Amino acid sequence: MTAPSTFGLSSEARNLHWLLTNLVEEVPGIQSVAVVSSDGLLLLSSDHARNAEAREARTGKPTGPRGSSADLATIVSGIGSLTIGAAKLMQFGGVKHTMVAMDEGSLFVMSISDGSLLGVHGSADCDMSVVAYHMALFVGRAGHVLTPELRSELRKSLESASAGSA
Protein backbone atom coordinates (compact mmCIF):
# COMPACT_ATOMS: atom_id res chain seq x y z
CA MET A 1 0.00 0.00 0.00
CA THR A 2 1.06 3.61 -0.34
CA ALA A 3 1.05 4.09 3.42
CA PRO A 4 3.91 2.14 4.97
CA SER A 5 1.69 0.66 7.63
CA THR A 6 -1.92 0.43 8.69
CA PHE A 7 -0.86 0.78 12.34
CA GLY A 8 -2.98 3.36 14.10
CA LEU A 9 -5.75 3.35 11.49
CA SER A 10 -9.38 2.58 12.25
CA SER A 11 -10.71 -0.90 11.52
CA GLU A 12 -12.61 0.51 8.50
CA ALA A 13 -9.40 1.99 7.04
CA ARG A 14 -7.51 -1.27 7.67
CA ASN A 15 -10.34 -3.20 5.98
CA LEU A 16 -10.16 -0.96 2.89
CA HIS A 17 -6.39 -1.46 2.73
CA TRP A 18 -6.95 -5.21 2.97
CA LEU A 19 -9.64 -5.15 0.25
CA LEU A 20 -7.37 -3.20 -2.09
CA THR A 21 -4.39 -5.46 -1.43
CA ASN A 22 -6.58 -8.50 -2.02
CA LEU A 23 -7.87 -7.03 -5.31
CA VAL A 24 -4.33 -6.48 -6.61
CA GLU A 25 -2.95 -9.82 -5.44
CA GLU A 26 -5.89 -12.04 -6.40
CA VAL A 27 -6.84 -10.73 -9.85
CA PRO A 28 -4.41 -11.61 -12.64
CA GLY A 29 -3.34 -8.70 -14.82
CA ILE A 30 -4.01 -5.86 -12.40
CA GLN A 31 -0.98 -3.60 -12.36
CA SER A 32 -2.09 -0.70 -10.18
CA VAL A 33 -5.18 0.54 -8.38
CA ALA A 34 -6.28 3.91 -7.01
CA VAL A 35 -9.29 5.07 -5.02
CA VAL A 36 -9.95 8.75 -5.65
CA SER A 37 -12.35 11.02 -3.77
CA SER A 38 -15.09 12.91 -5.58
CA ASP A 39 -12.88 16.03 -5.44
CA GLY A 40 -9.99 14.22 -7.15
CA LEU A 41 -7.76 13.47 -4.17
CA LEU A 42 -5.98 10.14 -3.86
CA LEU A 43 -7.38 8.18 -0.90
CA LEU A 44 -5.85 4.76 -1.32
CA SER A 45 -3.60 3.06 -3.85
CA SER A 46 -1.66 -0.06 -4.57
CA ASP A 47 2.07 0.27 -4.33
CA HIS A 48 2.90 0.40 -8.02
CA ALA A 49 6.63 0.53 -7.38
CA ARG A 50 6.59 -2.64 -5.28
CA ASN A 51 5.80 -4.94 -8.19
CA ALA A 52 6.84 -2.81 -11.17
CA GLU A 53 10.41 -4.08 -11.40
CA ALA A 54 9.35 -7.73 -11.37
CA ARG A 55 6.68 -7.16 -14.01
CA GLU A 56 9.03 -5.11 -16.17
CA ALA A 57 11.69 -7.83 -16.00
CA ARG A 58 9.13 -10.49 -16.90
CA THR A 59 7.50 -8.64 -19.81
CA GLY A 60 10.37 -6.46 -20.99
CA LYS A 61 7.98 -3.49 -21.02
CA PRO A 62 7.60 -0.65 -18.55
CA THR A 63 4.48 -0.77 -16.41
CA GLY A 64 2.55 2.44 -16.11
CA PRO A 65 1.51 4.98 -15.37
CA ARG A 66 5.12 6.07 -15.21
CA GLY A 67 5.24 8.46 -12.26
CA SER A 68 3.43 7.63 -9.08
CA SER A 69 0.11 6.52 -7.74
CA ALA A 70 -0.83 10.20 -7.95
CA ASP A 71 -0.55 9.91 -11.76
CA LEU A 72 -3.11 7.10 -11.83
CA ALA A 73 -5.34 9.10 -9.47
CA THR A 74 -5.15 12.10 -11.80
CA ILE A 75 -6.05 9.99 -14.83
CA VAL A 76 -8.94 8.29 -12.99
CA SER A 77 -10.27 11.63 -11.75
CA GLY A 78 -10.09 13.16 -15.23
CA ILE A 79 -11.82 10.23 -16.93
CA GLY A 80 -14.44 10.15 -14.21
CA SER A 81 -15.12 13.85 -14.58
CA LEU A 82 -15.30 13.61 -18.37
CA THR A 83 -17.74 10.69 -18.36
CA ILE A 84 -19.94 12.26 -15.68
CA GLY A 85 -20.11 15.44 -17.78
CA ALA A 86 -20.94 13.44 -20.90
CA ALA A 87 -23.70 11.53 -19.10
CA LYS A 88 -25.23 14.79 -17.85
CA LEU A 89 -25.04 16.34 -21.30
CA MET A 90 -26.68 13.31 -22.88
CA GLN A 91 -29.15 12.98 -19.98
CA PHE A 92 -28.36 9.28 -19.57
CA GLY A 93 -28.16 9.23 -15.77
CA GLY A 94 -25.20 8.33 -13.63
CA VAL A 95 -22.02 6.66 -14.84
CA LYS A 96 -21.50 3.15 -13.48
CA HIS A 97 -18.17 2.30 -15.08
CA THR A 98 -15.83 3.23 -17.90
CA MET A 99 -13.32 1.07 -19.70
CA VAL A 100 -10.53 2.24 -21.98
CA ALA A 101 -8.88 -0.52 -24.00
CA MET A 102 -5.42 0.28 -25.35
CA ASP A 103 -2.86 -1.73 -27.31
CA GLU A 104 -0.74 -2.46 -24.24
CA GLY A 105 -3.30 -2.43 -21.44
CA SER A 106 -6.65 -1.32 -20.13
CA LEU A 107 -7.96 1.27 -17.72
CA PHE A 108 -11.13 0.68 -15.75
CA VAL A 109 -12.95 3.34 -13.73
CA MET A 110 -15.92 2.46 -11.54
CA SER A 111 -18.09 4.76 -9.44
CA ILE A 112 -18.33 4.21 -5.71
CA SER A 113 -21.57 5.18 -4.01
CA ASP A 114 -20.24 8.36 -2.37
CA GLY A 115 -18.93 9.85 -5.63
CA SER A 116 -15.45 8.42 -5.18
CA LEU A 117 -13.91 6.40 -8.00
CA LEU A 118 -12.05 3.12 -8.19
CA GLY A 119 -9.48 3.03 -10.98
CA VAL A 120 -7.61 -0.04 -12.17
CA HIS A 121 -4.77 -0.22 -14.66
CA GLY A 122 -4.67 -3.69 -16.21
CA SER A 123 -2.21 -5.44 -18.48
CA ALA A 124 -3.01 -6.18 -22.11
CA ASP A 125 -3.71 -9.82 -21.32
CA CYS A 126 -6.03 -9.26 -18.34
CA ASP A 127 -9.54 -10.70 -18.57
CA MET A 128 -11.65 -7.54 -18.58
CA SER A 129 -14.76 -9.31 -17.31
CA VAL A 130 -12.86 -10.77 -14.33
CA VAL A 131 -11.36 -7.37 -13.49
CA ALA A 132 -14.78 -5.68 -13.74
CA TYR A 133 -16.38 -8.37 -11.55
CA HIS A 134 -13.75 -7.97 -8.82
CA MET A 135 -13.97 -4.20 -9.02
CA ALA A 136 -17.74 -4.46 -8.49
CA LEU A 137 -17.11 -6.64 -5.43
CA PHE A 138 -14.68 -4.04 -4.07
CA VAL A 139 -17.16 -1.21 -4.69
CA GLY A 140 -19.95 -3.20 -3.03
CA ARG A 141 -17.84 -3.85 0.05
CA ALA A 142 -16.17 -0.44 0.27
CA GLY A 143 -18.94 1.92 -0.78
CA HIS A 144 -20.94 1.82 2.44
CA VAL A 145 -17.93 2.46 4.72
CA LEU A 146 -16.37 5.32 2.72
CA THR A 147 -17.74 8.05 4.98
CA PRO A 148 -16.43 11.63 5.10
CA GLU A 149 -14.59 10.73 8.31
CA LEU A 150 -12.92 7.72 6.70
CA ARG A 151 -11.97 9.71 3.58
CA SER A 152 -10.34 12.30 5.86
CA GLU A 153 -8.47 9.58 7.76
CA LEU A 154 -7.20 8.00 4.53
CA ARG A 155 -6.01 11.37 3.18
CA LYS A 156 -4.18 12.15 6.41
CA SER A 157 -2.58 8.71 6.33
CA LEU A 158 -1.29 9.32 2.79
CA GLU A 159 -0.06 12.80 3.71
CA SER A 160 1.85 11.54 6.72
CA ALA A 161 3.33 8.69 4.65
CA SER A 162 4.46 11.22 2.03
CA ALA A 163 5.92 13.53 4.67
CA GLY A 164 7.75 10.58 6.24
CA SER A 165 9.39 9.62 2.94
CA ALA A 166 10.41 13.16 2.03
pLDDT at 54: 45
CA gap 158, 138 in Å, rounded: 20
Q: Strand 117-123's sheet: what is its strand order?
A: 42-45, 30-36, 117-123, 105-111, 97-102
Sequence-separated (6 or more) residues with CB below 8 Å from residue 80: 36, 95, 98, 109, 111, 117, 119
Is residue 1 included in any domain, yes or no?
no
Is residue 2 included in any domain, yes or no?
no
pLDDT at 4: 41
Is residue 137 included in any domain, yes or no?
yes
- Tally of domains within the chain: 1
CA gap 45, 121 in Å, rounded: 11
pLDDT at 156: 84
pLDDT at 126: 92
Report the first-to-last Cα separation within the chain, whole angstroms.
Answer: 17
Q: How many CB atoms lie within 10 A of CB 67?
A: 10
CA gap 123, 134 in Å, rounded: 15
Q: What CATH number does the domain containing 63 carry?
A: 3.30.450.30
Is residue 5 included in any domain, yes or no?
no
pLDDT at 46: 84
pLDDT at 59: 54
pLDDT at 148: 84
Is residue 6 included in any domain, yes or no?
no
> Per-residue confidence of the chain (166 residues) as pLDDT tens digits?
333 456 778 888 888 889 999 999 999 999 999 999 988 889 998 864 444 444 455 455 555 544 567 788 999 999 999 999 999 999 989 888 999 999 999 999 999 977 899 999 999 999 999 999 999 999 998 888 888 888 888 888 887 776 665 5
Is residue 45 included in any domain, yes or no?
yes
Provide the residue range defining the domain that includes 134.
11-165
Is residue 71 included in any domain, yes or no?
yes
Is residue 55 included in any domain, yes or no?
yes
